[in-house]
Amino acid sequence: MDILCRCVSSALFLSFGMRRDVNVHLLLLGEPDPGKIIRFEGLHLRYLNPDERSSGSLIQKALKKDATEQDIRSTPGVWIRRGDLGFLLSKFEGRTLFYLREDGEDIRAIANEIRDPVFFLGDHIGVTEEEEKQLLKAGAKIISVGPLSLHSNHCITLVHNELDRAEAQRGELPGEIERRIEN
Amino acid sequence: MDILCRCVSSALFLSFGMRRDVNVHLLLLGEPDPGKIIRFEGLHLRYLNPDERSSGSLIQKALKKDATEQDIRSTPGVWIRRGDLGFLLSKFEGRTLFYLREDGEDIRAIANEIRDPVFFLGDHIGVTEEEEKQLLKAGAKIISVGPLSLHSNHCITLVHNELDRAEAQRGELPGEIERRIEN
């Protein structure tokens, strides 16, 4: 759970303010009640600070809701529902999917061409073979952010930096392009 | 204090293991007892996990020691002493100093030439004018990591990535070059 909290923070925080054009989807597949998706919407988020306790508390609040096949709002900008990877992939149909794996193509080589992306990151246990198959079948491109194996929250920081730099080069900062980090 | 905990974690953690070639210096100048330096030595560190609570607990333990002008070991790899920015700068004499500021030169343009570096980062309040003068007088070069203003822990992740990539290009990974992130 700690790693999820840090991912939420890395995906959403700037030094002064929040990345309002970013959404985070936490796909929770662990016991005791697998198959839940918590969504953080940068645009509507409130009550989130950069520390782990803060995102942890919003996640816990969401998990107390009775999750169904419909989105239920937990706190402003935080939603929970039942769902799995297949559901997420169908939701993101038509967008550019990336799957972060250490042996992927260097994001730096393609950052300038990335538009309307969704990034998939595994937790510390990684992504199962079956999930990987699903991702690749849906057209996800395998990319990496550097030569070493890093925690997911650090990878998110690096992905943002590549896209920030690409947007700045195109004169598109701050955040005119919708961008979403999904986990 | 939260931000310091996150900086320690960003500076020292890889996905599987620790950056043993990194030291972190936390320069604590706030009330009630300003002028302390806590040093985390990657090479000797134990009992540190990537979560904020873990680094927070090691910092709290160190702060309970009676800090003097000599290093006192708090836990394995964690040391505390009295000191200020001037002390740190004299300690790092002869090394290559960098000071992170948003309007600095892009680290990406010079990453390949960086050897034996020490990086100085401010907290969320930033660095005072007086401290900045000291840093520049000591020869620190002003660099930046991207077009947006980010939290210090995210900056550390980005600095590591640039150096990791430069080392990989030179065929020097894993970590044959001593590298230190100081805060």
Tell me what ipTM this predicted complex has: 0.91
Query: Of chain B residues 80-99, which have a CB less than 8 A from chain A?
Result: none
pLDDT of residue B182: 52
CA distance B96 to B119: 9
pLDDT of residue A183: 45
Q: Is the pLDDT of residue B177 over 80?
A: no
A51 with B149: Cβ contact below 8 A: no
Cα–Cα distances (Å) from A83 to A38, A76, A118, B118, B121, in that order, read 9, 20, 17, 46, 41
User: Domains of chain A, with CATH numbers?
Assistant: 2-181 (3.40.1280.10)
The pLDDT of B76-86, averaged and rounded, is 97
pLDDT of residue B124: 73
- Chain A neighbors of B151, CB-CB under 8 A: 13-15, 50
From A52, A157, A158, residue closest to B52, measured CB to CB = A52
A122 appears as a binding residue in the annotation: yes
- Chain B neighbors of A124, CB-CB under 8 A: 15
Per-residue pLDDT of chain A (183 residues; tens, 9 = 90+): 889 999 999 999 999 899 999 999 999 998 889 999 999 999 999 999 999 999 999 999 999 999 999 999 999 999 999 999 999 999 999 999 999 999 999 999 999 999 999 999 998 777 999 999 999 999 999 999 999 999 999 999 999 999 999 999 998 875 433 444 454
- Chain B neighbors of A151, CB-CB under 8 A: 13-15, 50
Cα–Cα distances (Å) from B46 to A82, B3, B76, B130, in that order, read 40, 21, 6, 36
- Chain B neighbors of A164, CB-CB under 8 A: 146-148
- Selection from B62, B67, B64, B179 nearest residue B114 by Cα: B179
Q: Is the pLDDT of residue B80 over 90?
A: yes
Kindly state whether A158 is in contact with chain B, defined as any CB-CB distance less than 8 angstroms.
yes
Kindly state whether B55 is in contact with chain A, defined as any CB-CB distance less than 8 angstroms.
no
Is A147 within 8 Å of B15 (Cβ atoms)? Answer: no
Q: Is the dihedral of CA A48, A50, A53, A56 positive or negative?
A: positive
Q: Encode pLDDT of B87-133 as tens digits.
A: 999 999 999 999 999 999 999 999 999 999 999 999 877 799 999 99
A124 with B15: Cβ contact below 8 A: yes
CA distance B56 to A93: 42
Q: Is the pLDDT of residue B11 over 50?
A: yes
Is A63 within 8 Å of A46 (Cβ atoms)? Answer: no
